Chains A and B, each alone.
Chain A
Amino acid sequence: MNAYYAIFRLRRRLETQYRGAALGGLICQVFFGLILIALYRALYAGRPQDMPLGHVVTYVWINQAFFRMVLSSDPELLDKIRTGGIAYDMCRPVSLYGFYYARLMAQKIMGTFLRGAPMIVIAALLPKGWGISLPASLPGFLWAAAAMLLGLLCVCAMENITMGFTMRTLDSRGMQAMLNLLMMLLTGNVLPLTLYPDSWQPVITALPYAQMLDAPIRLYTGIYAPETAWLILLRQAAWVAVLVCAGSLMWRANQRRLVIQGG
């Protein structure tokens, strides 16, 4: 078996061991989803927006269901970098970047699946106006699924860049707090990107953060038409390529200057 697939499988299996964490995450995210939707309903009752409420509610639920994909890090990995356990991984005949990329991907896929799948079911059972809507069309849904995969690749590449910074500063907290803020704002976690002013849209949707969750959600709700969906996916793929290149260059440079401290 390929080394990258092997670590992917082991990490994925490990993630299923943390069922308590998944349940906690599920409850927390459902709670957040309900509160956010109550807020938007109140907003719409007072001052209706251009975007239909159903879209916003769907946006919120998909965002909550895929929270783990976008906003999570692997504490074990960060610990390895901080304490020097990374030394062992550097002694392996594999690309360190690819090795950690596969590991992150496994954690994100399994972690998201454990929390997201039951959450979508719950959100689908909620009454109209509170629950998630069906996709705009079948092609829209299929495009959205493909876009979600590209979004995942984008998130992992971005996470690896964050880790690249951690390798330089040796403490993840400062950099992560900053990057997480960008992540929460610009992926649409705090406020759906669809609610930002129209004049912002060209810029905000072109950023790498919008490729992670916003693009698939817009395909799902039909804001992006299936006919031009390939353009969206092309943009996502371009960002994946850029982020992966930037990340692996950064890691290569890091490996040459890395000092494993502490004897």
Chain B
Amino acid sequence: MSYISVQGLCKHFDVRQKREKGSLLRKKERVQALQDVSFDVEQGELVGYIGPNGAGKSTTVKILSGIMVPDSGVVSVGGLTPWENRKEHVRRIGVVFGQRMQLWWDVPIADSYDLLKDIYRIPDSEYRQRLDELTEALDLGGIIRTPLRQLSLGQRMRAELCGSLLHRPELLFLDEPTIGLDAVSKLALRDFLKWENREHGTTIMLTTHDMEDIAALCSRVMVLGHGRKLYDGDLSELLGRFDRLRTLSATYDRAPEVPELPGAERVDLEGETLKITYSTDKMEIGTLLPLLQKAGGIREMTVQPQNIDHLIAAMYQEMGL
């Protein structure tokens, strides 16, 4: 059996509505957060879990981490049912909720770590070694004696991540870990996650809205929408399905005549630069190039694929999300 095995997972919430005028009862609306979701994850995999807001990503993470009980479905993580064997289960997992805090606000982060050491009963020598390793990998050396409240968001996220990994979890859930981080912090965090995965074989499940995170980290991606699993597989293959639009920019010696380009989605002339947006299924670069060369001497040319966020937006749209 796979390391994580999820079969037919369902979960609904009752959301209370505001009382309507003239009615005494408040209506409850039933929201199906997860509808028959099934998947398997092998040990050591790095899986991205994406979907628009409200798709059911966090609900899945909460169920898999043992803090929420589903309506129905069978879940096994390393042979245990998370919500049935909560204590044994959580000992082996680490969780980072990007929008919440586990470290104590008013005390130095080292003290929060000491508490975690006692909670997970990590032996002294192992704890020292792991803390040194994480301090170095996450560059926490300068701030370990600083209270959490004095850290920047990026520092805080690194500190939180360290806290979730002290007990060497074999499975790590990351719920939007790069939310609000600057570019440098994001890159550092991604490098670290790759390192942790490679070095210790930690299985990582990542939910995020940042497609760069997914592209940088995950070879496998699952797409969730309206509580259903819509895609499970290779990221490049998924993108390939929707990745048709290209933008070609050609800069001429002097402003060219705009050529007739049948099949192009859009043609703009900005000074000496001609920008053409086309779809690969309607137009090929081989037929496009000669037409462009006729218009004048080309000094510089780039072809760009669509921004990954646009791709995902197009994909969500096509999937009816």
Q: Chain A residues in contact with chain B, CB under 8 A?
A: 1-3, 5-7, 10, 13-14, 17, 76, 83-85, 87-88, 90-94, 255-260, 262-263
Contact with A along B95-114 (1 / 0, CB 8 A): 10101111011110001001
| Closest residue of A by beta carbon distance from B121 | A3
A94 to B121 Cα, complex, angstroms = 11
A3 to B176 Cα, complex, angstroms = 28
6 interchain pairs (CB within 8 A)? A5-B118, A6-B118, A85-B100, A87-B67, A88-B95, A259-B13
A12 to B120 Cα, complex, angstroms = 20
Nearest first, the 9 closest Cβ-Cβ pairs linking A and B are A6-B118, A88-B102, A90-B67, A93-B91, A3-B119, A93-B87, A1-B118, A263-B58, A91-B90
A17 to B106 Cα, complex, angstroms = 9
> Are A260 and B104 in contact (CB-based, < 8 A)?
no
A256 to B105 Cα, complex, angstroms = 28
> Are A2 and B118 in contact (CB-based, < 8 A)?
yes
Contacts of A93 in B (CB 8 A): 87-88, 90-91, 119-120
A84 to B87 Cα, complex, angstroms = 20
Assess whether B168 is interfacial by the CB under 8 Å rule: no
Instruction: Please tell me the size bucket of the interface on B.
Output: 20 to 34
- What is the distance, in angstroms, from A1's C-beta to the closest C-beta of chain B? 5
Supposing A92-B90, A258-B67 touch, asked if A84 and B118 sit within 8 A by C-beta, the answer is no
> Are A7 and B101 in contact (CB-based, < 8 A)?
no
In the complex, which of the residues A10, A76, A255, A262 contacts B115, with contact meaning CB atoms closer than 8 Å?
A10
In the complex, which of the residues A1, A5, A17, A85 contacts B101, with contact meaning CB atoms closer than 8 Å?
A85
- What is the distance, in angstroms, from B97's C-beta to the closest C-beta of chain A? 6
Contacts of B99 in A (CB 8 A): 262-263
Contacts of B65 in A (CB 8 A): 91
Contacts of B87 in A (CB 8 A): 93-94
- What is the distance, in angstroms, from B160's C-beta to the closest C-beta of chain A? 9
- What is the distance, in angstroms, from B149's C-beta to the closest C-beta of chain A? 12
Assess whether B62 is interfacial by the CB under 8 Å rule: yes
Assess whether B204 is interfacial by the CB under 8 Å rule: no
A105 to B107 Cα, complex, angstroms = 19
- What is the distance, in angstroms, from B71's C-beta to the closest C-beta of chain A? 12
Contacts of A6 in B (CB 8 A): 114-115, 118-119
Supposing A6-B115, A6-B118 touch, asked if A88 and B100 sit within 8 A by C-beta, the answer is yes
A258 to B121 Cα, complex, angstroms = 27
Contacts of B225 in A (CB 8 A): none
Assess whether B69 is interfacial by the CB under 8 Å rule: yes
A6 to B105 Cα, complex, angstroms = 17
- What is the distance, in angstroms, from A89's C-beta to the closest C-beta of chain B? 8
Contacts of B58 in A (CB 8 A): 263
Contacts of A90 in B (CB 8 A): 66-67
| Closest residue of A by beta carbon distance from B116 | A92
> Are A260 and B68 in contact (CB-based, < 8 A)?
yes
A85 to B68 Cα, complex, angstroms = 14
Assess whether B46 is interfacial by the CB under 8 Å rule: no
Residue in A76, A84, A92, A262 with the greatest tally of chain B CB atoms within 10 Å: A92
> Are A84 and B119 in contact (CB-based, < 8 A)?
no
A91 to B114 Cα, complex, angstroms = 17
> Are A7 and B115 in contact (CB-based, < 8 A)?
yes
Contacts of B67 in A (CB 8 A): 87, 90-91, 255, 258, 260
Contacts of B83 in A (CB 8 A): 256
Supposing A6-B114, A260-B67 touch, asked if A91 and B119 sit within 8 A by C-beta, the answer is no
Contacts of B88 in A (CB 8 A): 93
Supposing A93-B87, A93-B90 touch, asked if A260 and B62 sit within 8 A by C-beta, the answer is yes
A10 to B117 Cα, complex, angstroms = 13
Assess whether B222 is interfacial by the CB under 8 Å rule: no
A79 to B68 Cα, complex, angstroms = 20
- What is the distance, in angstroms, from B101's C-beta to the closest C-beta of chain A? 6
Assess whether B165 is interfacial by the CB under 8 Å rule: no
Contacts of B10 in A (CB 8 A): none
In the complex, which of the residues A13, A92, A256 contacts B107, with contact meaning CB atoms closer than 8 Å?
A13
- What is the distance, in angstroms, from A166's C-beta to the closest C-beta of chain B? 17
> Are B100 and A14 in contact (CB-based, < 8 A)?
no
A83 to B66 Cα, complex, angstroms = 19
Assess whether B274 is interfacial by the CB under 8 Å rule: no
Assess whether B93 is interfacial by the CB under 8 Å rule: yes
**A-B contact sample (10 more), CB < 8 A, given A94-B87, A263-B99:** A6-B118, A87-B100, A88-B95, A90-B67, A92-B119, A92-B120, A93-B88, A93-B91, A259-B68, A260-B62
- What is the distance, in angstroms, from A77's C-beta to the closest C-beta of chain B? 12
> Are A10 and B119 in contact (CB-based, < 8 A)?
no
Contact with A along B73-93 (1 / 0, CB 8 A): 000000000010001101101
- What is the distance, in angstroms, from B57's C-beta to the closest C-beta of chain A? 8
Contacts of B175 in A (CB 8 A): 263
A255 to B97 Cα, complex, angstroms = 18
> Are A10 and B111 in contact (CB-based, < 8 A)?
yes
